[in-house]
Chains A and B, each alone.
Chain A
Amino acid sequence: MQDDKQAVLSVRNLSVEVTNSSATPVLKDISFNLYPGEIFALVGESGSGKSVTSLAMMRLLPEALTITGGTVLFDGRDLFCATEEEMTAVRGNRIAMIFQEALTSLNPVKKVGAQIEETLKLHSQLDTKERRARVIELLEEVGVPHPETRIDWFPHQLSGGQQQRVMIAIALACEPDVLIADEPTTALDVTIQKQVLDLIRNLARSRKLAVLLITHDMGVVRETAQRVGVMYRGEIIEEDPCEDFFRNPQQEYSRRLINSLPDQKHFREACHPHPLLEVKGLKVHFPQRKGVLQRIHDWTKAVDDITLSIGRAETLALVGESGCGKSSTGHAILNLASITDGSITFEGQTISGMSRTAMLPLRRKIQVIFQDPYSSMNPRMTIQRVIEEGMISLKMGLTPEQRAERVIDLLQRVKLEPEHRFRYPHEFSGGQRQRIAIARALAVEPEMIICDEPTSALDVSTRAEVLNLLQELQRDLGVSYLFITHDLSIIPQLAHRVAVMKDGKIVEVGTTEAVLTEPRHSYTRELLSAVPHV
């Protein structure tokens, strides 16, 4: 085994507290080593202190947090004892960092070339010409196409993956010894995620780079890391080589983390019920206007001629990467967005183009659950009123007492305390709020629920609970789901059938088993291969 002597950087007993507060410390006695050429993954759920650890190592904590103890040994000295000037010579030069949101992490008003060059300017003696050459070289190395022209582009002109590559180029510019990657791929689509992870892995190997990878995604850990540290409430509760960790986790919490990953071996049997909802040739186009008179010169084809159907008590997963038009499809079915062409029929009734009032009776039958549990409920309404709203507006003819009774019943059904119904949304956690959202949708006894990425904002353990709840409800109540998601890993145990969407079109439909095991379309294959497996 490696020991402390070989470590490039070692963190010893790092503790961080909220400034001037006696509240529980944010970090308690964190210790770990980073070795050259090795990727060390720090895993944990949101709020476990992963990002704080990385910022504390660089002494970049916001003023609200204070380092209260510990050392960071790098290059034979304690970084916490270095002056601010010495620190700036280390940052970006010897230890570099990349962040989750590449777009906001890049300066929007500066060209990407200039941003990479700035690091070189700070830490090297190269002249202007050499620097430019080096920047092009770096862009090439991180896989940005046409580096000679892209060097003069602004960050917003690049795609999300390219932005993250530029971030990596900035980090690598001065050939650092340590790279800290804070959730580098969380904001990216799976196919891009794979490319970026591959890049980091290759760089670690070729440059003997010590990488600290911070992530919440066990799949990413499995695919990239050599060693794993599990963080829980500000402490590292377990540290193992990657293989051992997945084979035999020591801690109960680690086991929970691993087991909460959806089962991907077993597929849900397809059923063939009568279609409840049928979408034929649906098109949602947005006009692009140009010129003095604002004439329409082109159309953005968000949804371009898709056809799908969902049966009673069936789950159809609509899978695709960001911007493929899957959410627009959901909105069109809910009649919240106007459609350009095609027809949507529900129980034989055409609902596309229906007026607001004519749609009212059908609103009871099709409901929706949104992605963000924080913004999907009015912060100024009690849970009782949130759930009641649909019952009142859809005139279900219930007395206030009956409604209250029903709210209690629904809360029990989604496994929440009925006594909490007079609380406000912000008093609940993300997973609880998502369950309230489910209760709200169920309140009007719908036959179909459109689930728009309901779990992508949740931590892994909560995600599993919500998914199980959804399945349980389907079994008990016989509702159908249109499950919109980008996450292929949750599909096997969830959906009967899968439709894969790309650029507004459905490229492949079939039973879950067929699509996931024998994909016919190349895009589906690409998607599948990009999903990190555990």
Chain B
Amino acid sequence: MFAYIVRRLFYTIPILIGVNLITFFLFFVVNSPADVARAHLGEKYVTQQAIDNWVAEKGYDRPLMFNSHAPGTDKITDTIFFQKSLGLFTFDFGQADDGRDITTDVLTRMGPSLALAVPSFIIGIWVNICVALVVVMFRCTQLDKAAVALFVSLMSISGLFYIIGGQYLVATVWRLVPISGFEPGWMAWKFLVLPVVIGVVSGIGLGARWYRTLFLEAADQDFARTARAKGVSELGVLFRHVLPNAMLPILTGVVVVIPALFMGSLLMEAFFGIPGLGSYMLDAIRAQDFAIVRTMVFVGSVLYIFGLILTDISYTLADPRVRLN
């Protein structure tokens, strides 16, 4: 197990280098820094001087990969790739276009993101499992059919409508909670209730339907028949035999996203004005602040790979048959 984790950690290095190369290619090779500067400063009516200034200010005035004019090791180090891309490995994210330090921004914005993402995630899974269990209990009845129809309809509605509709109903018509905003500390709850509820509701269709399939698959297996032959009631079969086995595939889908919770939710945070990483990214995308986008790509990849390793570990804990090798 230990050896496996160490090996997996080693394996992340080439992946992160790959991610780095892709971002480097996207951000500096597809369009040169000068092109980006031109796009930023207004396409047609911009002087060469302004572009040069912008590029120099951001530190993009170096060659891309190889600096033939620099002495010694600077040939390699005094380049955009070394300065801007490899710097990510040391978690040196540099500055945003407005001059703020990205690392501090990321750290302060993580809190609100987690405050929204963690409850949505936990309550979401819990609700989905419960709904799916109830439906499975009534399998092969009209209720089951109706529930599946409902799930499919629910998942056919765009997430945007859940948010817009929920805001309209709960915040505008019923005036139960504020439409949007955030406040640090415990008072944040009143701002978080609505997005969490909407997040959970919008996920029911897809989640519960998937879990239902998993439960049904497990309920069809031989061990469930053995349990019934032992005299276990249908409810007991469901909770003591089907659920623990169906948890295995659920784990793969669920654990991998846990680290990604740090990234927050783009849509939710934007609509509800929560100052987390999601809205941070959205603002960066809309302002075309590539330094932030680049950082978040890197952070996201690290978290995803971390999630993969976590999935493997959780699998060994949940399934006695799996030994990591």
Contacts and interface: CB of A to CB of B under 8 A. Distances in A.
A and B: direct contact (Cβ < 8 Å)? yes
A108 to B, nearest CB: 6
A119 B230 contact: yes
B6 A88 contact: no
B221 A291 contact: no
B121 to A, nearest CB: 24
A291 B325 CA distance: 9
Interface stretch (A98-106, A373-381, A413-421): A98-106
B229 A92 contact: yes
A93 B140 CA distance: 28
A109 B242 CA distance: 10
A117 to B, nearest CB: 11
Contact of B244 (A91, A92, A93, A110): A110
A63 B225 CA distance: 13
B241 interface: yes
Given A108-B245, A109-B318, A290-B3, A88 B227 contact: no
A186 B226 CA distance: 17
A106 B222 CA distance: 7
Given A154-B320, A292-B6, A118 B225 contact: no
A97 B222 CA distance: 12
B229 A91 contact: yes
B225 A105 contact: yes
Interface string A68-111: 00000000000000001100111111001101010011111110
A104 B227 CA distance: 12
B222 A170 contact: no
A156 B228 contact: no
A92 B237 CA distance: 14
Given A63-B140, A109-B248, A167-B226, A91 B231 contact: yes
Interface in B17-47: none
A62 B140 CA distance: 11
Given A104-B221, A118-B240, A109 B233 contact: no
Interface string B2-16: 010011001000000
Contacts of A154: 320-321
A60 interface: yes
Contacts of A84: 233-234
A369 interface: no
Nearest to A153: B320
Contacts of A107: 223, 226-227, 241, 244-245
Interface string B287-319: 000000000000000000000000000000011
B319 A109 contact: yes
A109 B315 CA distance: 11
Contacts of A92: 229-232
B227 to A, nearest CB: 7
Contacts of B230: 91-92, 96, 118-119, 122, 170
Contact of A101 (B222, B241, B321): B222
Given A88-B232, A90-B231, A109 B244 contact: yes
Query: Which interface class (under 10, 10 to 19, 20 to 34, 35 or more) fits B?
Result: 20 to 34
Interface string A144-158: 000000000010110
Contact of A105 (B3, B222, B232, B233): B222
A92 B227 CA distance: 9
Nearest to A174: B231
A104 B231 contact: no
Interface string A118-157: 1100110000000000000000000000000000001011
B3 A291 contact: yes
A521 interface: no
Interface in B207-263: 221-223, 225-234, 240-241, 244-245, 248
B245 A88 contact: no
Given A88-B232, A93-B231, A107-B227, A292 B7 contact: yes
Contacts of A118: 227, 230, 232, 240
A292 B3 contact: yes
A58 interface: yes
Contacts of B228: 58, 60, 91
A108 B229 contact: no
A99 B222 contact: yes
A88 B231 contact: yes
B320 A109 contact: yes
Nearest to B224: A107
A264 B184 CA distance: 86
Interface of B: 3, 6-7, 10, 140, 221-223, 225-234, 240-241, 244-245, 248, 318-321, 325
